[in-house]
Amino acid sequence: MKTVTMRVDDSIYDMIKLAADGQKRNLSNFIEFATMQYLTSSQFVENSEMNEIMNDKELVKNLMNGFDDLKNGDYNIV
């Protein structure tokens, strides 16, 4: 297990604390819970969905072309 130190604005802290209290969790447990909820719902896809994406040859080609454009400096991510 790792220890993480972070700085947050007082208003953000108050929101996190209120949410943790509302779920009857301590602060650290709520931050871990909220992070896992975000990561698993926003950042990952099921294997079947990823297989469907990877089998769409035109989509993969377009994504790779976009990635090449980005590497070549044709676009900026803001």
pLDDT of residue 35: 92
Looking at the 3D structure of the chain, how many domains does it have?
2
Q: 50 and 36, same structural domain? A: no
pLDDT of residue 64: 93
Tell me the pTM: 0.52
pLDDT, tens digit, for every residue of 1-60? Answer: 889 899 999 999 999 999 999 999 999 999 999 998 888 776 677 889 889 999 999 999
Q: 40 and 2, same structural domain? A: yes
CATH number, domain at 13?
1.10.1220
Q: 50 and 38, same structural domain? A: no
Q: 54 and 71, same structural domain? A: yes
pLDDT of residue 42: 66
What the block records as the tokens of 1 is 């297990």
Q: What's the rounded Cα separation, in Å, for the pair 38 and 18? A: 18
Please give the residue range of the domain that contains residue 28.
1-44
Q: 51 and 28, same structural domain? A: no
pLDDT of residue 34: 94
